[in-house]
């Protein structure tokens, strides 16, 4: 059985992990006979957003604790992730990837990526372990792996595609139910909710194809 590390960035698309993307990823991994191990950094979120009103709240939440909601408590600190025990890693999207695992949401291509995540991504490249990247995650991956010229997709958003290009990545327009495969770096990406109006069924197709390819390349 293959072991796939799933890295989350909180709980909720405006300030953490996109819940539907995370759950569809876990479902696809399980359906295809692999095992998911879930990780998140033990850090505070950049901020907390009320998902009903869209307004910022005056409170503090922890990324690991919030991610545990999706993981049903079965989660590990990102510092404990050992790629030698995993066959691949996958990063679902959500603004938390661009706010908590990096500051891409605020500083664009001039932003920085979480140092532990950067080390993990670089090790994955060195060990030839596949990386699945969903939604905004491909752009964040380019913050850590730009020198590798990752070939990725975030859909068709020109601003984010431009940021990817400025970081050294190569962007390809894809629909929500499609994937982009970087055979050289073993990075598989799909746009998911980078298309705000995409149907959950199209997103499920894209994520399932992403997971399928990750497992094939693992």
Residue numbers annotated as active site: 135
Q: Would you tell me the crossing angle of helices 137-145 and 158-166 to the nearest 10 degrees?
A: 10
Euclidean distance between CA atoms 186 and 128, whole angstroms? 7
The helix or strand, by DSSP H or E, that contains position 151, with its residue range, turns out to be strand 151-155
For the range 171-178, what are the long-range contacts, defined as Cβ-Cβ under 8 Å and sequence gap of 24 or more?
175/202, 175/206, 176/202, 176/203, 176/205, 176/206, 177/202, 177/203, 177/205, 177/206, 177/209, 178/153, 178/206, 178/209
């Amino acid at each position: 059985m293959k072991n796939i590390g799933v890295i989350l960035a909180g709980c909720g698309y405006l300030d953490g992990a996109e819940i539907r993307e995370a759950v569809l990823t876990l479902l696809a991994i399980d359906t295809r006979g692999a095992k998911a191990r879930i990780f998140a950094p033990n850090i505070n979120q950049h901020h907390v957003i009320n998902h009903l009103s869209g307004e910022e709240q005056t409170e503090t939440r922890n990324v690991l604790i919030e991610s545990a909601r999706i993981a049903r408590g079965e989660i590990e600190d990102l510092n404990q992730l050992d790629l030698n025990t995993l066959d691949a890693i996958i990063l679902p999207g959500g603004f938390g990837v661009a706010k908590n695992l990096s500051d891409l949401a605020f500083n664009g291509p001039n932003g920085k990526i979480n140092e532990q995540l950067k080390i993990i991504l670089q090790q994955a490249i060195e060990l030839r372990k596949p990386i699945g990247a969903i939604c905004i995650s491909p752009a964040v991956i380019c913050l850590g792996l730009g020198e590798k010229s990752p070939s990725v997709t975030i859909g068709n958003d020109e601003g984010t595609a431009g940021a990817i290009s400025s970081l050294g990545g190569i962007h390809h327009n894809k629909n929500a139910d499609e994937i982009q495969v970087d055979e050289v770096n073993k990075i598989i990406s799909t746009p998911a909710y980078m298309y705000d109006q995409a149907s959950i069924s199209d997103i499920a197709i894209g994520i399932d194809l992403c997971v399928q390819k990750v497992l094939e390349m693992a």
